[in-house]
Amino acid sequence: MSENGLTSYREDGVTPALLVEAGTFSGPLDLLLALIREEQLDIYDIPIARICEQFLRHIHALRLNDAADYLEMAARLLRIKAQMLLPSTNGADLWEDPRAELVRRLLEYQQMREVVDVLQRRGELRRNQFARSYVQASLLPPPPTALALSLSELLGAVDRILRAVREPTMHEVVARPLDVPAAIMAIRAVLALRSHARWSDLVADDAEPWQILSTLLGILELAKLGELRVSQQKPFASVDIVRDVAGEAA
Amino acid sequence: MTSLAKLLEAALFASARPISFDELSALDLDASPAGVRSALDEVREHYDVEGHGVELVEIGEGWQILTRAEYTEAIERAQLAARPQRLSAAALESLAIIAYRQPIGRAEIEEIRGVAVGGVLKSLHERGLIDVVGRGEGLGRPLLYGTTPAFLEQFALRHLDELPRADELNIALRAHAGVTMTGVKTVTVT
């Protein structure tokens, strides 16, 4: 993990800096610890100015998704740095090291990382052994079989659909934009009343192509959002649209 | 093997999860705890001495028959069974904290890790490694999480006590002479 996260590099003869690969750190404390280790600093006596500068340089390079967590840590470091510059009003005896809280958190985090190592080792042991797996057959829904189709079956299906189309009539085509949001609202309204719907419940018999396409895209969008599940018992069977209770609860 | 050993073996074979000592004892009401213990030894020795492809392992507060590690590759190659995906570093960190501090709320985990953990907790919950075990006292009565029996099983632990205690870890939380460590509490890990 973090051991491999830092690599020294030299760029046009500038002083060696640290190159950080994004995604190698599991959080700001991880990065901070890696920096301390890399610089071989005493965790109880961290040169805050130096580590703060390093930290900022790295989060610039990282462009992490959860940069907010890193920025919060950067702000914390800057505050400690400021506090260390301020003269103590209470005299030396009562002076409390502003770094104490950070040190405590770093040590706590480091301790937890040791446990992670233990878990990782143990988990790997168990991962390499299989147990019996048995689930009572009656509790299982019928296994959804993969749709195994040959090309000729597929072409046959296309052929059937084309044949079903009556005499071709010529139309002047007026482009009609899809209205997916409205379709999503319609699907939600149907699924709000019942947990289970069919394609025919969502699309009227006389629906126009743009409506059909909007509904299809709406279903896919809602499936992606986890609001419903779409399943088919066998090839070309009617499509079941089921409200996803698990997704809803989350 | 004795008939009790055979009975235990059959039960262990039929079960998809580790069977606890009490459950094993309940299989034969005439059997004494010592009898069950020696029957378990008998099954284990039977597998070890005669050289079987499976072994009897004490895990997850019970016993379970597991395939031996050296056959994993071949079994997986033949797609008869698949190893579970490894957990991410972020998930392992959160899991380690929960294992030690349970019951624990999300805010405390975030405090230790320094990052938001909502998504990680959801995926740990989905994998059945953690569960909601109660609600905290504070504002909004936060959900408290704890580890599940599946956690012990997946990390080859017999019970939670098998995790190293805080004072057994290399980095013990202690004050250092150089710094005034006010407000530092030694974390007690149970």
Q: What are the boundaries of each domain within chain A?
A: 2-127, 176-250
* pLDDT tens by residue, B134-166: 998 878 889 999 999 999 999 999 988 888 877
CB distance A119 to B92 below 8 Å: yes
Q: How far is CA A29 from CA B110, B153, B155, in A?
A: 11, 29, 25
Q: What is the pLDDT of residue B176?
A: 36
* pLDDT tens by residue, A180-215: 888 898 888 888 888 888 888 888 888 888 888 898
Dihedrals φ, ψ of B139, to 5°?
-60, 130
Tell me A27's DSSP state.
S
Residue A247, pLDDT > 60, answer no
Residue A81, pLDDT > 90, answer no
Rounded CA gap, A5 and A124, in Å?
22
Residue type at B130 in one-letter notation: I
CB distance B17 to B64 below 8 Å: yes
pTM of the model: 0.61
CB distance A186 to A236 below 8 Å: no
> By mean pLDDT, which of A150-154, B119-123, B167-171, B180-184 is the weakest?
B180-184
A4: distance to nearest CA of chain B, Å? 14
Nearest to A131 among B66, B68, B86 (CB): B66
CATH number of A176-250: 1.10.10.580
A22 shares contact with chain B (CB less than 8 Å):
no
Rounded CA gap, A222 and A229, in Å?
8
CB distance A228 to A243 below 8 Å: yes
CB contact under 8 A, B87 and A123: yes
A204 shares contact with chain B (CB less than 8 Å):
no
**Length of chain A counted residue by residue:** 250
Is there a common fold for B3-77 and B89-162?
A: yes
Q: Considering only residues 129 to 148 of chain B, which have any Cβ-Cβ distance to chain A shorter than 8 Å?
A: none
Fold of B3-77: Arc Repressor Mutant, subunit A (1.10.10)
Q: Considering only residues 3 to 62 of chain B, which have any Cβ-Cβ distance to chain A shorter than 8 Å?
A: 13-17, 57, 59
Architecture per CATH, domain B89-162, reads as: Orthogonal Bundle (1.10)
- Using 50, 70 and 90 to split pLDDT, how confident is the model at A23? low
Q: How far is CA B68 from CA A125, A127, B19, B78, B162, in A?
A: 10, 11, 19, 16, 22
* pLDDT tens by residue, B56-86: 999 999 999 999 999 999 998 888 888 888 8
